[in-house]
Structure 1
Amino acid sequence: MADPGTRRRRPPATADRFDGWRVVALLAAVLTLGVGITFYGLSVYLSALTRDDDGFTLTTVSVATSAFLVVAGVAGLPVGWLLERHDARAVLVGGLVASALAVLAVGQVRDPAQLVAAYGVLGVGFAAISVIPVSRVLAAWFVRRRARAMSVAFLGLPVGGAVVTPVVAALVERHGVAGASPFLAAALLLVAVPLCLLVQPDPARVGQRADGAAPVAEPDPAAAPAGGVPLAEAVRTPWFVTVTVALTLGMLSQLGALSHLYNAVAETSGVSTAAAVVSLLAAASLAGRIVGTWVFERVALAHATVALLLLQSGALVCFAVAPGRAAVLAATVAFGVSMGNMQVLQPLLIAERFGTRDFSRILARGNLAVMLGMAAGPVAVGVLHDAAGGYPTAYVAAAVPALLGAVLMAWASRSPVPSGLTHPDPS
């Protein structure tokens, strides 16, 4: 029986109120600002840090960028552990503080070791403010409408790149990285942190239930175990291994092609087409995410993943073998649509398969592999370009991992839930 003092402190049931969409909006805003300054800001910092004669070499900054991705993947493991034991707001705020300190440090670095260290701290901050914590909070608030909620919240990723990163670029262009970093750190601390503090990470704490269902009398979430599969069981299933490998191959292909896209199109189709591709890609990515909010509620997630991986593979082949402007722009739209939706699929697939019991830690394991694939992608395409003497062969090769990922996902889609595992949360 619940302690009487605890009973008095519990918020009253609010059957006529549902704050889930407010939480979605707040998290989308945090992603917009945080990811715009950290992840998407990396390309801006790269340009500024390598521009001067006494600046860093391109290789040094590229190594630091890879360190950011690797550390972000590894840091996801403790982030997932913390999310299962502490308030998600504490994790988000800690990530924003780490990101702010790292941005300040990037403006003051003087040697390669300092730069790699600063990017490593930035990777830790990014892990604590992006996919894993946002997915964990939304998995608690939504079941039936989880795909829509996550798709809407993750609109903050492309919006951050389209809206926040140009502001970052303007500040860096005017003041340099050292001069711009205090403004960027202040935005993270004075704008994003208050937004995080407004997020309610658990509907039960405010007398609500997932998807706005009527709350039961005197809800006591501590009295019942969370629904879902424990970490040790989940990560040993063939389904988890297969899907993780498939998504890792897809993101290796995607980020490898994306990081070289401007140069690749400029090399085969000219600078004017390359400039058009950059703008069109952002628009297609955003449009793809918006369409995904509708599609993912109506199409099996595994089947949607197969279709997106095939679309991505076909787009990369088109870039390689059809250099005409019309074909390149069509390939850009296809690539943008696939790119806009791939990142949201991993948390959706894991939540659908394993429920919320150890969701954060299961997602962190899969996310680590995906982040390592992302870190390897740009290097792989660069090596293939140098070996083949051009991008066409490199892009055909980059299409192969996405195609293999589609085959693996098609196989995984046929795998039934193993007997003895708890099904995801009931709607």
Structure 2
Amino acid sequence: MMNKTTQLRKDHKKITLQKLIIASVLIGFSAAFLAVSLKKLTEHYEEILFHKANANWLLFLIFPFFGLSIIYFLREYLFKKKENKGIKEIFESTGSPTKRLPGYKIPSHFFNGLLTVIFGGSTGIEVSTVVASAAIGSVAQKKENVFKRHKTELVCAGIAAGITALFNSPIAGILFSFEVISRKISRFYLITIAIAVSVSYGFILLLDEKPLFEVAITTWYLKAFPYFILLGLLAGVNSVYLTKCVIYIKSKFAEIEKHTTKIIIGSLIISFSLLLLPQLYGEGYHAVKEIFFNAENITLTYSFGLTVLGILLLKPIITSVTLASGGDGGVFAPSMFLGAFLGLLLAVILNTFFKADVIPINFMVIGMAATLSASIHAPFTALFLICGLINDYTLFVPILVVCLISKTTAQLIYPYTVYSYQPKN
């Protein structure tokens, strides 16, 4: 009898493992396909609409209102009248034995994330991709009884595969799912993550996906390390400003009862911000690419200093308003955007007033990683994600050190991220 029971248990484990492997392959491919499709569509339409708005300023007034209105319409009549809560939805799902991410979250985050960014909402598609990919894992878990105990593993497999495809970095995908979502490892967790990420990475290699930023990193100098540390401290402070903006503005918008009022107020703030600083449109990667291209030739002028200070001040506000008025997204893209401009401003100031002779591009790349690390409290994710984005590991050591400094600084000032903060009732 004992032998028969033992054999049945072994057979059950074997069947579970086989099904998990098949599910992980399917999740990896589906999440990668979703992430690449969303990225390509967003890049294509954002570029077209941004150029149209640049040519005719009236479109800066129309686009945000139109985008938020369409998202509201879809939510009301197609997606069960439920608002998207971002990564908090994943925490609610993995933290409860009964709660799941429903299947409609896949198209909901896909289309809402796309519409938010292409019509000027000042956020990114990263969180939309993460939640939609997590929902793929959750749907797979729901389909098989043997997966009841493996919800977190399959959800994290979807997330890791989505991040891998989005940022061309399998290590970033694995680390993000661990540092931010699960924070615990099991044998099944390692198996599902490894398979899903391998399939996702294989898919983007097959498509010959290029890095998001074409950046030439040549070297870095030890004499710049004190300045890197300063950048880490500033990035930590900057990320806390972003976090507090999101939390405060969301709480204020939550007091507005009518959603149409939220849309009108939100779109007006976004529109006037875009008229003032068009660099804030959408993800802002177009502006980051432009300064990467011109970084070595930028000098500190009154106009440049005022523009960058305006960006650093306004970006967290307009991102918060975008999210609070119904837009879909998170703090990934805004953090990297802020970090790039913060790094450039610091480098230009150091070279102008202190003859530091630092390399501006290095400060931009390190600033992106540092601000992201501090915003999501995940230094290793930020490290590999940024190195994956530029497809270069020359700055690995300074990025690692600065990411740890920025995260620690942010935690000392304010212990929460936008994901971990729980409003007091």
TM-score of the superposed pair, with normalisation by structure 1: 0.34
Q: Which has the higher contact order (CA 8 A, sep 6+)?
A: 1
